Amino acid sequence: MLVDAHCHLDDRRYDDDRAAMLARARAVGVTHFVTVGCDPNGISNARALAALHSDVWCTVGIHPHNAKEVTPEFLDGLAQHFTHPRVVAVGECGLDYYYDNSPREAQREVFAHQVALARRVKRPLMIHVRDAYEDTLDILRAEHASDVGGIIHCFTGSWAWGKQALDLGFHLSIPGVLTFAKPGELPEVVTQAPLERLLTETDSPYLAPAPHRGKRNEPAYVAHVADEIARLRGMDVLVVREATARNAVTRLNLV
């Protein structure tokens, strides 16, 4: 069993072979897909895919890149999506100070609004953070995000920061970056963090793992992430695949 806890199944790069791409993932043991709706168009696409496939769930939120585009009224309207059981998390939301596609103040306001939304609709958060680690923690604490927890998606931070996220009740979702020649501090993260707090993801079509670097990523490749966690921890591959899948199913209520 494998779970891709964060992917973008509606991306146009799958338009020519979406059904075949999903079939390849199912063939290697992917049993659950979480597709992410994080802009106004993506939200409707993600919901449509979750309605079409019994093994696909979705999230609803606003990415920090799009923070400048939305109004408080639009954000309030997101709550309506969470009456549907296949909408399992708020996000991806958070802060991105690397690209700064939206003004930082707008990012912080939209992020805080979505943490409050998650508490209101009683759904976990799916967090995006890049070059904004301290501000992310400050908002999570100020808005009492530990009430709902969630996952830090595409985790590439330090173990010191990861421990603080774990202390707030979050899980760490590990991407294909772990398989790169220069994975940063991720090997330390996946060996030090409790296995029961780790998830696997592709963030496809981005960040294809080795041996597929430079190609379009897809959910089947989540197996490489789980297998690298197993190698680094010195554990049986099947044990790690099943554990990380179970963690995702439980944390995101994929039922």
* The pLDDT of residue 193: 98
Residue 88 is which amino acid? V
Separation of alpha carbons 133 and 157, rounded Å: 8
The sign of the CA dihedral 60, 164, 1, 211 is: positive
Q: How far apart are the first and last CA of the chain?
A: 15
The full set of domain ranges for the chain reads 2-252
For 55-85, what is each residue's pLDDT tens digit?
Answer: 999 999 999 999 999 999 999 999 999 999 9
For 116-157, what is each residue's pLDDT tens digit?
Answer: 999 999 999 999 999 999 999 999 999 999 999 999 999 999
Separation of alpha carbons 180 and 157, rounded Å: 15
Mean pLDDT of the chain, nearest integer: 98
- Cβ neighbours, 10 Å, residue 13: 15
Global pTM?
Answer: 0.98
The least confident of 40-44, 184-188, 207-211 is 40-44
- Tell me which architecture the domain covering 2-252 has in CATH: Alpha-Beta Barrel (3.20)
Residue 180 is which amino acid? F
- Of the pLDDT bands very low, low, confident and very high (cuts 50, 70, 90), residue 229 is very high
